[in-house]
Chains A and B, each alone.
Chain A
Amino acid sequence: MQDFGQYTNIITTGVYGSAIALILIGLYAVLVKKHLTKIVIGLSIIDAGVHLLFIAIGYITGGTAPIFSPGNENMAEKMVDPVPQALVLTAIVIGFATTAVALSLVIRLYKHHNTARIDQIKTLKW
């Protein structure tokens, strides 16, 4: 086990902080940007932030990857939590699927209105 000592706090702030920063950047893009493609990009950035948060929660200081590779057969006590990694594997694929469908909807809107900026689509109503 490596001992990170006084750096633990910095690492905690750094990993959680960057994950939360990614979520906030994505949320800003979704709320402020007018171009639909940029909104979809913002949603993808939120996705990335949530995935980083998941993996960070599963991390154990000094842990190894949950793979029993040759020479690592008896390391079960030292491995990081495999469940969030499996969930993130699912979430990445679902994120890809939703992004693809959202982009296809953007393309359809662009073809119909000749613009992909939501402030220029006049027929948009509540």
Chain B
Amino acid sequence: MKKVFVILLLIIVGYFLAGTFNLIPFGENRIAGNDQGEKVASYYLHNTKEKTSVANVVTAIVVNYRGFDTLGEVTVLFLATTGLGSILFRRKEDDEEVERINKPSSSLVTTGSRILFPLIALLGIYVFIHGHLTPGGGFQGGAIIATGFLLMLLSYKNFHASHKALTWVESLAGISFVMIGFWGLISSNSFLQNIPEVGQLNQLLSGGVIPVIYIAVGFKVAAELTGVLDILLNIKPKK
């Protein structure tokens, strides 16, 4: 009986969603405009190249035009990690050792992951260093590095990410983001203002402070996701 009501509700919701999006034609050019800010998207597309010299417009929006928003987003991620830790926190009794739930892996898996882990970390670092030139950036690169740590956590029973090191990396990255923001505030009267010498388009050293911020975000996201994985995998099994 309940399922009938739910399916009826889903049909109504689906009908109105489809009706709404039927009014928005797919693939229509709604952002055509000049570079004077007639449409916000066309303003970004026409001015990013000259004003920030960052090749990836999405990076320019995320880190520069909406950089304050990204600072809030990073804060939300930090709060989620802290909340996770405080929800699952358990004082360790002296005699019992925290046990990993998964079984020990075979030597094939452990050797393979030992070879793969540095390569995965290198790929993640590449992705967030080139965040202003290629598709990618701090969040994606951080997530890739965290998958490398997940591989190690799954294949080695005794592998633990050092929480002290994770906290240090996370704090330093967050502080450097805020400090870059204050640097912009002091030097050009606006929080997170980019410095004027932005460099050449499509060079590694271009975009002013944008790559620096994205590298900080990459380290922060990697540390936070690794912390989340470590907490979730190290839950003591119920006796």
Q: Which residues of A contact B27 (CB under 8 A)?
A: 4, 8, 11-12, 59-62
22 CB < 8 A contacts A-B: A12-B26, A17-B18, A32-B3, A60-B27, A60-B29, A60-B30, A61-B28, A67-B55, A67-B56, A68-B202, A82-B44, A82-B61, A86-B62, A89-B139, A93-B221, A96-B77, A96-B225, A97-B76, A97-B77, A100-B232, A104-B84, A104-B232
Q: Contact: B61 with A86, CB < 8 Å?
A: yes
Q: Which residues of B contact A61 (CB under 8 A)?
A: 26-29
Interface residue ranges, A against B (CB under 8 Å): 4, 8, 11-12, 15-17, 20-21, 23-24, 27-28, 31-32, 53, 56-57, 59-63, 65-70, 73, 76-77, 79, 81-83, 85-86, 89-90, 92-94, 96-98, 100-101, 103-105, 107-108, 111, 114
Binds A, one of B66-74, B169-177, B185-193: B66-74
User: Considering only CB atoms, which chain A residue lies closest to B80 in the complex?
Assistant: A97
Most buried by A among B26, B44, B84: B26
Considering the chains assembled together, what is the distance between the CA atoms of A104 and B9 in angstroms? Answer: 30
Considering the chains assembled together, what is the distance between the CA atoms of A33 and B44 in angstroms? Answer: 44
Cβ-defined partner of B87 (8 Å) among A12, A73, A89, A104: A104
Considering the chains assembled together, what is the distance between the CA atoms of A108 and B235 in angstroms? Answer: 10
User: Considering only CB atoms, which chain A residue lies closest to B86 in the complex?
Assistant: A104
Tell me whether A82 and B83 are in contact in the complex, defined as CB-CB below 8 angstroms, given that A20-B17, A60-B29 are known contacts: no
Q: Contact: B2 with A32, CB < 8 Å?
A: yes
Interface extent on B, as a size class?
Answer: 35 or more
Cβ-defined partner of B73 (8 Å) among A28, A57, A90, A105: A90
B134 on interface, CB distance cutoff 8 Å: yes
Q: Contact: B202 with A24, CB < 8 Å?
A: no
Q: Contact: B139 with A65, CB < 8 Å?
A: no
Considering the chains assembled together, what is the distance between the CA atoms of A19 and B13 in angstroms? Answer: 13
B45 on interface, CB distance cutoff 8 Å: yes
Q: Which residues of A contact B61 (CB under 8 A)?
A: 82-83, 86
What per-residue 1/0 map shows which CB atoms of B198-230 lie under 8 Å from chain A? Answer: 000110000000000000000001000100100
Residues 132-149 of B contacting A (Cβ, < 8 Å): 133-135, 137, 139
Cβ-defined partner of B41 (8 Å) among A11, A68, A81: A81
For the complex formed, measure the closest distance between the CB of B21 and the CB atoms of chain A, giving whole angstroms. 5
Q: Which residues of A contact B84 (CB under 8 A)?
A: 100-101, 104
B108 on interface, CB distance cutoff 8 Å: no
Q: Contact: B10 with A60, CB < 8 Å?
A: no
Q: Contact: A66 with B45, CB < 8 Å?
A: yes
Cβ-defined partner of B57 (8 Å) among A4, A79, A103: A79
B49 on interface, CB distance cutoff 8 Å: yes
What per-residue 1/0 map shows which CB atoms of B42-55 lie under 8 Å from chain A? Answer: 00111011000001
Q: Contact: A20 with B18, CB < 8 Å?
A: yes
Considering the chains assembled together, what is the distance between the CA atoms of A32 and B46 in angstroms? Answer: 48
Q: Which residues of A contact B13 (CB under 8 A)?
A: 23-24, 27
Q: Contact: B10 with A68, CB < 8 Å?
A: no
Q: Which residues of A contact B7 (CB under 8 A)?
A: 28
